[in-house]
Amino acid sequence: MAGRGRVRPPAVWSIPVGIYHPGSSVLHRLPVGAKLVALLVTTSMLVLLRSGAVVLAGALIVVAGYALARIPPRLALAQAWPLRWFVLILIPTQAWLAGWQTAAVVVGTMLITVLLAGLVTLTTRTADLLAWTDRALGRLPGGAMISLILVLAIRAIAVLSVLLQQAHEARMARGMQWSARALVTPVVIRSIGYAHGLGEALMARGLDDDAPDPPAAGRGRRVRRG
């Protein structure tokens, strides 16, 4: 009976990717700019040097970073889980074209980059990340719009993760765990509803590029009266 009351942990594929994980570690307290610069430097070295030793050093940094931030292993694995099919295809392809060492370097570089980016988002509040982006891009043309796009993108990822989890739980409750239609159909329908509501909200705030310009139309009517 006790086993029936136990709450099963969520499947790895259903864990939201890049959602802030609360904590008080050193990485959580680091300034946003410092984490982004470290991410840029590390990924640049991985891409430019392209050696097994550098990939190994990057892997050690990933392990140390997730351990220092006290990120649960399932949450860490979830950051790279969406790439599983791509990795399974890329490894033999690269091994056949350029050898196993090159395949290991290419795939390792990609996974380490994704995991490091995930570590930054896991240890950085969305509000802090967007505030830093807004300050950094505030002087550029369209900086406010870029910040808005980032907000919408991050929010969309969280919404889709929740919709997937809810559809999966509903499918399991109906005994249809192997039905792709029972998973995809409600997610697509609810995603369209979310996008429609979001579009209406943006239009209500004057962010519709296709809307006519009321002042210009008003001026045209006044000229015709005269």
What pLDDT, in 10s, does the model give residues 114-160? 899 889 989 998 788 878 877 877 777 767 777 777 767 766 766 77
Q: Where are the alpha helices (DSSP H) in 69-177?
A: 73-80, 84-98, 100-122, 126-137, 143-173
**Token couple for 175:** 């005994």
Q: Is 167 exposed, middle or buried (0-12, 13-18, 19+ CB in 10 A)?
A: buried
CA distances from 48 to 40, 54, 85, 113, 158 (A): 12, 10, 25, 13, 33
Establish how many alpha carbons lie within 13 A of residue 122's alpha carbon, considering only the half-sphere containing its beta carbon. Answer: 29
Q: Grade residue 226 by pLDDT with cuts at 50, 70 and 90.
A: very low
Query: What confidence score (pLDDT) does residue 67 get?
Result: 95
Instruction: Check residue 157 and give its pLDDT.
Output: 67
Question: What are 178's two structure tokens?
Answer: 């192997």
Which of residues 99 and 7 earns the better pLDDT score?
A: 99
Distance CA 201, CA 7 (A): 37
pLDDT at 223: 46
pLDDT tens, residue by residue, 188-199: 888 888 888 877
The answer to whether the beta carbons of residues 110 and 45 sit under 8 Å apart is no
CA–CA separation, 171 and 165 (whole Å): 10
Give me the pLDDT at residue 101, please. 92
Please give the single-letter amino acid code of residue 74: R
Residue 225: the pLDDT is 47
More confident residue, 208 or 57: 57
Instruction: Give the whole-angstrom CA distance, residue 62 versus residue 110.
Output: 12
Whether this prediction's pTM lies above 0.75 is answered by no
Q: pLDDT tens digit string along 22-73?
A: 999 999 999 999 998 999 999 999 999 989 999 999 999 999 999 999 999 9
Q: Percent of the chain having pLDDT more than 90?
A: 31
